[in-house]
């Protein structure tokens, strides 16, 4: 049950290289020329749904009620920090909703 992501006990998402991750940018933006994003759906403004191709291992950190990811350019410089809504992801295994 690996799927696209694995959940660590620190509640981070560890995304394998070259996985595709569908995401919604809730806050922040990405430059149109960022090669990590599909050219037909560039993430330019908030609340745009796009597809992100992961280059190398990317760690999405969980802070409060949101996940955050740093976008880096080819030189490794952070160009944007985005807050993500992982609409295609499930909760961590064993962390089902309480009723």
Residue 31 lies in a domain: yes
Q: Can you list the residues of the chain whose pLDDT is less than 70? A: 1-99
Residue 75 lies in a domain: yes
Domain that holds residue 27: 5-85
Instruction: Tell me how far the alpha carbon of residue 58 is from its chain's centroid.
Output: 8
pLDDT at 46: 30
pLDDT at 6: 38
pLDDT at 44: 33
* CA–CA gap between residue 34 and residue 29 (Å, rounded): 11
Residue 72 lies in a domain: yes
pLDDT at 79: 59
Positive or negative torsion for Cα 31, 33, 38, 39: positive
Residue 95 lies in a domain: no
Residue 92 lies in a domain: no
Residue 74 lies in a domain: yes
pLDDT at 64: 54
pLDDT in tens, 20-32: 444 444 444 444 4
In the numeric block, which tokens belong to residue 61? 């950190």
Q: How many domains is the chain built from?
A: 1
């Amino acid at each position: 049950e690996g799927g696209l992501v694995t959940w660590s006990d620190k509640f981070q998402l560890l995304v394998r290289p070259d996985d595709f991750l569908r995401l919604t940018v809730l806050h922040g933006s990405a430059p149109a020329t960022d090669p990590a994003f599909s050219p037909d759906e560039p993430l330019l403004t908030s609340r745009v749904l796009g597809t992100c191709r992961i280059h190398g291992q990317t760690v999405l950190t969980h802070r409060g009620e949101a996940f955050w990811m740093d976008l880096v350019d080819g030189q490794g410089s952070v160009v944007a920090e985005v807050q993500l809504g992982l609409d295609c992801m499930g909760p961590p295994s064993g962390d089902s909703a309480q009723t």
